[in-house]
A and B are shown apart, each in its own frame.
Chain A
Amino acid sequence: MTHFLVMISFAALVAVVFGIVGRDSGRERGLYGLKIFAEFVGIGLALAWLLYFLPR
């Protein structure tokens, strides 16, 4: 659970900065930030499951 929280924190902090720097208007910033956040978390979970099935 701690690992997941760290990943969520990382994604949220990066998404805030990318959202503000990457777009100009307030609404676009919010949507872009959410997209970045979802991508970080989604790809992170996908990779985690992929690695879970690989033998150690």
Chain B
Amino acid sequence: MTIKERGMDGAKPSEETPAVAWLIGVLAWAVPGAGHLWQGRWGRALLLGGAVWVMFIAGILLGGHLFSPGGQEEGTNALLRLPPMVANLGSGILYLYCWATETGFAEGAEQAARATFEYGNTFLLVAGLLNYLAMLDAFDIAAGRKS
């Protein structure tokens, strides 16, 4: 067995990831908490999924702003919208629902003037990022890399 086959540290190559793990990963992204729920991890589903749901809803109620590719910026300035959009997109169906109902995407000065606007932004961004972590956790459990 060559070093390439064994990996740089000489360890044996890991087993192939089961297809269901990928499915669970997608499910965990789409519906926060569902990836763990599918695997019967009720406690984790409640805590991880609950944290993401609460954080996202709190972000909306605080007047936070969700980012989408289209906006008022043009040219390279529009690229600055991508990182926060990727973070927002981590919330899965919550983001898609808001996008479909045009909730939280308003870009008026009135909304930005709210005292809790930046808090809301932060809550919405972090909700998506936390769901990415939860998604990876669900994937690792399904792949047998984590107990």
Whether B58 is near chain A, meaning CB under 8 Å from some CB there, is yes
Whether A36 is near chain B, meaning CB under 8 Å from some CB there, is no
- CB < 8 Å: which of B54, B119, B137 contacts A13? B54
Whether A46 is near chain B, meaning CB under 8 Å from some CB there, is no
Which DSSP category, helix, strand, loop or mixed, fits chain A's interface? helix
Closest partner residue, chain B, to A3 (CB atom): B119
- Least CB distance, A8 to chain B, in whole angstroms: 12
Count, A-B residue pairs, CB within 8 A: 40
Total contacting residues, chain B, CB less than 8 A: 21
Q: Is the CB of B119 within 8 A of A6?
A: yes
- Least CB distance, B27 to chain A, in whole angstroms: 17
Q: Is the CB of B126 within 8 A of A10?
A: yes
Given A14-B126, A17-B130, A17-B133, check contact A9 B58 (CB 8 Å).
Answer: yes
Residues of A close to B47: CB separation below 8 A: 16-17, 20
- Using a CB–CB cutoff of 8 Å, the interface residues on chain A facing chain B are 2-3, 6, 9-10, 13-14, 16-18, 20-21, 24
- Using a CB–CB cutoff of 8 Å, the interface residues on chain B facing chain A are 44, 47-48, 51-52, 54-55, 58, 62, 116, 119, 122-123, 126, 130, 133-134, 136-137, 146-147
